[in-house]
Amino acid sequence: MTHNKVAASESQARLMQTIAGCIQLHTMTSPMTVEDIVSVLGVCIGAAIANGKSYVPRRELRQIVLANIDNAMQAADQTPRSPIIMPPGQG
């Protein structure tokens, strides 16, 4: 199954900015490793898939998540930005 890149809607973009802002604020006072943040986000994604009401099967939702992760990593490699997280020991 292939998932094409689709531009985020305005609502999706605002949610991404809100989540990034929350992570940034949290890690300023409680530094975390990237592994810890990714782990927490993974749990949240799993819960959303398990508890959400969708006509899309869970396995396909998981594939969408994986494709979006790959797309985001590729985009970040092409346009580096300042980090939004504060690693431990740098706060």
The predicted-structure confidence for 1-57, as pLDDT tens digits, reads as follows 556 667 778 898 899 889 989 999 999 999 999 999 999 999 999 999 999 888 899
Residue 60 lies in a domain: yes
- CA angle, corner 58, sides to 53 and 64, nearest 5? 105
More confident residue, 22 or 81: 22
The residue segments making up the domain with residue 40 are 32-80
Number of domains in the chain: 1
Q: Which pLDDT belongs to residue 53? A: 86
Residue 18 lies in a domain: no
Residue 24 lies in a domain: no
pTM for this one?
0.74
Longest dimension (CA), the chain: 44
Residue 41 lies in a domain: yes
Residue 1 lies in a domain: no
Residue 17 lies in a domain: no
Residue 86 lies in a domain: no
Which residues are CB-neighbours of 54 under 8 A, at least 6 positions away? 61
Q: Which pLDDT belongs to residue 85? A: 54
Residues 58, 50: contact at Cβ < 8 Å?
yes
- Band of the pLDDT at 91, cuts 50, 70, 90? very low
Residue 7 lies in a domain: no
